[in-house]
Amino acid sequence: MTSVSATELLDAWEAGWGRDPLRRGLALLAVARGTTRAAAADVPVGLRDRALFAFRAALFGTGVEAVSRCPGCGTDVDVAFDQRDLLAALPGPVSGQQVPDTVTVRVDGRDVPARMPTSADLAAVLDAGPPAPDEALAHRCAPTAPVAAVAAAWTAADPLLDLRIDLGCPDCAHTWEETFDIVAFLWAELDAWGRRTLHEVHDLARAYGWSEADVLALTPWRRRCYLGLVGA
């Protein structure tokens, strides 16, 4: 993963602003890998998410804190875990190098190859707006294989494609599974960081006459020190 500057992070935040989750994921992956969004679109979705987990760890740490809502009684439930534990508990491949680009599906006694889905595949399906997007995605990656068999082969090859966490309600004892979407979660963190950073730029530019580039060139520690002086 490339080293990312504050300016590059703000650029990624701007690139994803007002876009759908898929394009936000591409903006994040592009800056994480130091590549273009077009190149990022060809990365299999599981590898994309692994890269984003690593990117998140580098930016914000591995601890996850969130709030879910119990489907049984509507109580807000605090969720806290370490993403390293979540990933380590996955069955099958752990590192991106172990995830194949193509899996095999057995159809009528013969092996049919099925490509692992990429963001480009997802974009093509979502932009076309078919009535059954899951079927369209499977047919795009394996035109002659049954949809259910393709989906099962994908998940078996890379369980990160269907990442879920077990939750329980402290009030009513209801238990359930909830999907953990690294793109959405990382984007929310980046959004909060971006808004906070722009406020810092605004305050220091107004106080010292510095440009945005001047402020962003400071380390976060020095920025906090100057902000403390401004507020003194």
117 alpha-carbon distance from chain centroid: 15
The band of 232, judged by pLDDT with boundaries at 50, 70 and 90, is low
| H helices present in 18-63, as ranges | 21-33, 37-40, 45-60
Q: Which helix (H) or strand (E) holds 175?
A: strand 175-179
Report CA dihedral (148, 153, 159, 160) to the nearest 10 degrees. Answer: -80
Model confidence pLDDT, tens digit, residues 89-143: 887 655 445 788 999 999 988 999 999 999 999 999 999 988 899 999 999 999 9
The C-alpha atoms of residue 214 and residue 206 are separated, in whole angstroms, by 12
pTM (two decimals): 0.92
Model confidence pLDDT, tens digit, residues 173-229: 999 999 999 999 999 999 999 999 999 999 999 999 999 999 999 999 999 999 999
User: What's the confidence (pLDDT) of residue 63?
Assistant: 97
With a pLDDT cut of 70, the percent of the chain lying above it is 96
- Structural domain spans, the chain: 100-157
Count Cα neighbours of 208 within 13 Å in the Cβ-side half-sphere: 15
Positive or negative: CA dihedral 199, 222, 56, 48: positive
Average pLDDT in the 30-48 region? 94
